[in-house]
Structure 1
Amino acid sequence: MEQRHLGRSGLLVSRLGLGTMTWGQDTDPDEAAAQLAAFVEAGGTLVDTADVYSEGDSERILGHLLRELVDRDEMVVATKAAIRPNGRYDASRRHLLGALDASLDRLGLEYVDLWQLHVYDPATPIEETLSALDEAIVSGRTRYVGVSNYTGWQLAKAAAWQKAWPGRAPIVSAQLEYSLLRRDIEREVVPAAVDAGTGLLPWSPLGRGVLTGKYRTGIPADSRAAAPHFTEFVQPYLDEECARIVESVVTAAEGLGVSPLSVALSWVRDRPGVIAPIVGARTAAQLAVALESEGLTLPHSIRSALDDVSDLATGNP
């Protein structure tokens, strides 16, 4: 698998990341092991988790597999903090550093490679939040830092603050939702990231699973949309406009002799500023289909057609 530099840093990551949000909930430890083994065999290195995924079980499972299944030194381990178990945002220095220590304990690691602020917390001064990132770097608890779910101005402000004084930890990554069904970050976040030298890590690059085409004729019983805890997550992308984009993806896939998943994933993977889409699969079989996208580069004509059918509506940022 191709390796890319994360932003303007020296950190190399695989151009496809493995997401672990379902681990410990919809994905049991054995299935997680099968996913990680297949991912590593394909040349994948970037594995992403968070302290709140499955109430910490995602980190616990990943930590066990890093000790028992793969060479930890060959992996780029990323986790996040800034959300309390009750869902409240908390990016205070106290909470963040305590959450990082708890993540390291669950992972069984002395450090993570990438520590990310999961959300922007408007109740905490940004300089306090960012000071926790600096402390995490200086103390050796992480090697690099990033943000997640930040708007364009929030990313630009954080990146500029960190660049304003020598020795502060640069923001090397920004994780946001980005797919053919969700392109609004192109208005301000993408330009801000490119300008700041921050690499984009798209989450839900398959439009919450809708771009695979599985919902074209209904809601499969074993799909996310059928699960009570995911119904509201998928529902916004089951409208007529999204269906039109999905049909275009399916048509392109049929013409290329590949899966709709590969087409959708290849499109977002090679967008400006994107380093590695984060793909979360419920099963190893689903992940295997995603891994097949590594060999696909979309022809210019198909990429242009998909750009047109999914283009943002004209308007102000």
Structure 2
Amino acid sequence: MEQRHLGRTGLRVSRIGLGTLTWGRDTDEHDAADQMKAFWEAGGTLIDTADVYGGGEAEYLLGQLVERLVPRRDLIIATKAGSVPDPYRRFDGSRGHLLAALDASLERLGTDYVDLWQIHAFDTGTPLEETLHALDIAVTSGRARYAGVSNFCGWQLAKAATWQLASPGIRTRLASSQMEYSLLQRGVEREVLPAAIDLGVGLLPSSPLGRGVLTGKYRHTTPPDSRGASELLAPFVEPYLDEAASRIVDAVATAAEGLATTSLEVALAWVRDRPGVVAPIIGARNAQQLTAALSVESLSLPDEICQALDDVSAPVHRYPDQDWSTL
């Protein structure tokens, strides 16, 4: 699998990443092992997790599998910290919480370091410089090799990345920003992506298949074994089942038919090759689904297909993105 630099750093990662959101909850040890083996054998290196996935079970399971199946040196392990199971405070970006969470992640993962440590979300209750100081400590102490953020809007990302570049002392450059991005969710193109490109931050798209909707599985019905049929995850899928999404899904299916491939591959290739994107993160239910996604490695979409998909999915951006002199 092709390797790409993560932002303006020397870290190289596979251009498709493996997500572990459901590991330890809906994905058992057997299916997780099959996924990891298939991913590694395909040349994949980037594995994404978080301290809250499965209540910590995703990290623990990943650590167990790395010990048994795949050499640690062959993987780029990325995890996140900052989300908390507190109804009154969803995010905690304090230095104390973040560093304690990192230590707990390392223990579950069974490793001395993570390759990429990301702040899961922006915490309005903590000064940003304190949150960023935790990243500096993590890297200088050797517990993390690179650092990034997740779910930061445009001004938050720009402020954080600029602070790290401009502040005196040893500061850790932000390597990544993990955000939802797909043909069904192009909001990052408004401010996040331009900021990331300008500041040398690599984008790691989550939900690149529009929460599974872009595969076409929901075109006519809801499969009983899908996320859309799950009591827990149905609210996650439902926003992408409207009429506007249906038009985009149909366009992807038409493109797939013309290219003699699948909707999954078309949708994934589109986001994988967008400017600023480093590696979409794929979450699969089993190894068969993952293998189907990894087959996208040999696909590059023709320019006219990309343009058609761009047109049908184009978000509406007006002021201030639009040239004000024409208003």
Question: How far off its partner does 1:184 sit?
Answer: 1.0
SS in 1 for 2:177: strand
Which residue of 91, 96, 101 maps to 1:99? 101
Mapped contact 2:114–2:145 kept (Cα < 8 A): yes
Mapped contact 1:66–1:72 kept (Cα < 8 A): yes
Task: Give CA-to-partner distance per residue, 1:110-165, whole Å, 9 cap, x none.
Answer: 00000000000000000000000000011110000000000000000000000012
Question: How far off its partner does 1:84 sit?
Answer: 1.3
Question: How far off its partner does 1:28 sit?
Answer: 0.3
For 1:307, give the aligned amino acid: D
Give, in whole Å, the separation in 1 of the partners of 2:19 and 2:149. 16
Residue 173 of structure 1 corresponds to 176
How many residues end up aligned between the 2 structures?
Answer: 317
Mapped contact 2:63–2:109 kept (Cα < 8 A): yes
Residue 234 (str. 1) matches residue 237 (str. 2) = yes
Mapped contact 2:51–2:79 kept (Cα < 8 A): yes
Question: How far off its partner does 1:21 sit?
Answer: 0.3
Give, in whole Å, the separation in 2 of the partners of 1:166 and 1:6. 23
TM-score using structure 2 length? 0.96
Unmatched tracts of structure 1, length 5 or more: none
Residue 276 (str. 1) matches residue 273 (str. 2) = no
Give, in whole Å, the separation in 1 of the partners of 2:259 and 2:24. 36
Residue 162 of structure 1 corresponds to 164
Matches within 5 A, 1:165-204: 165-204=168-207
SS in 2 for 1:206: coil
Residue 146 of structure 1 corresponds to 148
Residue 264 (str. 1) matches residue 237 (str. 2) = no
Residue 246 (str. 1) matches residue 236 (str. 2) = no
SS in 2 for 1:303: helix
Matches within 5 A, 1:118-129: 118-129=120-131
Which residue of 109, 112, 121 maps to 1:110? 112
Residue 209 (str. 1) matches residue 212 (str. 2) = yes
SS in 2 for 1:168: coil
Residue 131 of structure 1 corresponds to 133
**What is the Cα-based RMSD across aligned positions, in Å?**
0.8
Residue 68 of structure 2 corresponds to 68
SS in 2 for 1:313: coil
Mapped contact 2:190–2:317 kept (Cα < 8 A): no
Question: How far off its partner does 1:166 sit?
Answer: 4.3
Give the fraction of aligned pairs with identical amino acids, expressed as a percent.
Answer: 62
Which residue of 212, 216, 221 maps to 1:218? 221
Give, in whole Å, the separation in 2 of the partners of 1:6 and 1:56. 26
Give, in whole Å, the separation in 1 of the partners of 2:110 and 2:204. 25
Question: How far off its partner does 1:313 sit?
Answer: 1.1
Question: How far off its partner does 1:304 sit?
Answer: 0.5
Mapped contact 1:55–1:85 kept (Cα < 8 A): no
Question: How far off its partner does 1:85 sit?
Answer: 2.8
For 1:34, give the aligned amino acid: D
Unmatched tracts of structure 2, length 5 or more: 322-327
Question: How far off its partner does 1:233 sit?
Answer: 0.3
TM-score using structure 1 length? 0.99
Residue 324 of structure 2 corresponds to none
Give, in whole Å, the separation in 2 of the partners of 1:289 and 1:91. 37
Residue 23 (str. 1) matches residue 23 (str. 2) = yes
